[in-house]
């Protein structure tokens, strides 16, 4: 008969040590584990291409967080499907503070209402802080505008009525807030326009400058091109005129009532990330306000608008039904 094999004394001692180590680790309170955070590099997922509007903001934010937290915060561009690929990966990540998401409002408040088979929900992400807020500028290619006598929003509306579908406009992707805003303009004024999706705002902007597109709802990076005559601005979507473009009317002044549209760039984490870590991230991000170089870099993109997690969460909660009503009223769907 084969004798049973018992562990040696050395093996039993090693097993005992392992059991004690695991017990000690389990006994460490969650707040103590959070207190040790971060002890390794953090990745920040950006669901848009390198060099895009959102990516430019992310580079400034990651640099500030790296210095504040004492660990590298590495930007990873996970591109595709109007941000869906990158946001989905962030939403599925472990809620341990080592995966963050920096994205725009389209990803969080609009996509979940446009795609019926989306792989994430707004609730899958925990707000950390809003970073930036900005309006859009309705721009047109100046040569095209001159050729067709377009100097105002009213002119582009009348041209579109005479030439259904002839006006092309670009956006960083189907379902992006820039696309939704132009679709809303088209529906409200009862005109037919042609949407051309690009991978980023920068690409759509360059296409408008080159004349590949007629127009776009562009961002503040368009201001130097407007001042140089490479783009023509017809209106801004803010309630007041922009200081950078004092001669450009608001959409309301241009005859389109109740057309105040702004988008934001924000920092989020996977839902379930410990509140202590979220608070540390928010506190570290406040360093942007004390950094003159960072403030100048972000000021060229929009208004630096820091928010605590609770206030940011309320902003998101308010925008979801507001954009949902627009989507329903305008009859916009992507699948």
Q: How far apart are CA 188 and CA 182, in angstroms?
A: 10
pLDDT tens digit string along 64-104? 999 999 999 999 999 988 889 999 999 999 999 999 999 99
Minimal CA–CA distance to 90: which of 334, 264, 270?
270
Look at residue 25 in the predicted model and tell me its pLDDT: 39
Local confidence band at 263 (pLDDT 50, 70, 90 cut-offs): very high
> Is 9 in a helix, a strand, or coil?
helix
Q: Sort 169 into a burial class: Cβ within 10 Å, 0-12 / 13-18 / 19+.
A: buried
Give the DSSP H/E element, type plus range, for residue 67. Answer: helix 53-69
From residue 28, how far is each of 22, 31, 35, 97, 170 by CA, in Å? Answer: 10, 8, 11, 18, 53
Query: Tokens 């963050």 — which residue?
Result: 100
In CATH terms, the superfamily for domain 42-133+262-330 is: Bordetella uptake gene, domain 1 (3.40.190.150)
**Residue 171's beta-bridge partner residues?**
197
The residue-averaged pLDDT of 148-156 equals 98
Please give the share of the chain, as a percent, with pLDDT higher than 90.
74
- Strands 168-171, 194-197: pairing is parallel
pLDDT at 147 over 70: yes
Query: Tokens 């984490």 — which residue?
Result: 269
pLDDT at 111 over 50: yes
Domain spans, the chain: 42-133+262-330, 137-236
* Residues near 52 by beta carbon (within 8 Å), at least 6 away in sequence: 46, 172, 199, 200, 201, 202
Domains 42-133+262-330 and 137-236 share a fold: yes
pLDDT tens digit string along 206-253? 999 999 999 999 999 999 999 999 999 999 999 999 999 999 999 999
CATH architecture of 137-236: 3-Layer(aba) Sandwich (3.40)
């Amino acid at each position: 008969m084969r004798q049973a094999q018992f562990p040696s004394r050395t093996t039993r001692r090693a097993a005992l040590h392992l059991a004690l180590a695991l017990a000690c680790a389990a006994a460490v309170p969650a707040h103590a584990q959070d207190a040790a955070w971060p002890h390794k590099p953090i990745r920040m997922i950006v669901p848009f291409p390198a060099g895009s509007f959102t990516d430019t903001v992310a580079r400034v934010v990651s640099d500030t967080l790296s210095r504040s937290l004492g660990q590298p915060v590495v930007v990873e561009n996970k591109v595709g499907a109007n941000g869906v690929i990158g946001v989905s990966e962030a939403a599925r990540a472990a809620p341990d503070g080592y995966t963050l998401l920096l994205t725009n409002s389209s990803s969080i408040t609009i996509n979940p209402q446009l795609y019926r088979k989306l792989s994430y929900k707004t609730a899958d992400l925990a707000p950390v802080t809003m970073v930036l807020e900005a309006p859009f500028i309705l721009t047109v290619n100046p040569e095209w505008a001159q050729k067709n006598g377009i100097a105002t929003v009213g002119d582009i509306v009348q041209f579109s009525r005479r030439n259904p579908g002839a006006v092309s406009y670009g956006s960083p992707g189907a379902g992006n807030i820039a696309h939704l805003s132009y679709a809303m303009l088209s529906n409200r004024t009862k005109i037919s326009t042609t949407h051309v999706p690009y991978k980023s705002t920068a690409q759509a902007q360059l296409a408008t400058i080159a004349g590949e597109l007629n127009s776009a709802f562009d961002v503040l990076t368009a201001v130097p091109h407007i001042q140089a005559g490479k783009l023509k601005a017809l209106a801004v979507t803010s309630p007041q005129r922009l200081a950078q473009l004092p001669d450009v009317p608001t959409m309301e002044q241009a005859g389109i009532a109740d057309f105040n549209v702004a988008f934001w760039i924000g920092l989020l984490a996977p839902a379930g990330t410990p509140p202590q870590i979220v608070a540390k991230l928010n506190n570290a991000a406040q360093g942007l306000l004390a950094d003159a170089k960072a403030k100048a870099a972000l000021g060229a993109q929009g208004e630096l608008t820091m928010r605590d997690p609770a206030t940011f969460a309320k902003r998101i909660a308010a925008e979801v039904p507001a954009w949902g009503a627009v989507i329903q009223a305008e009859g916009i769907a992507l699948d």
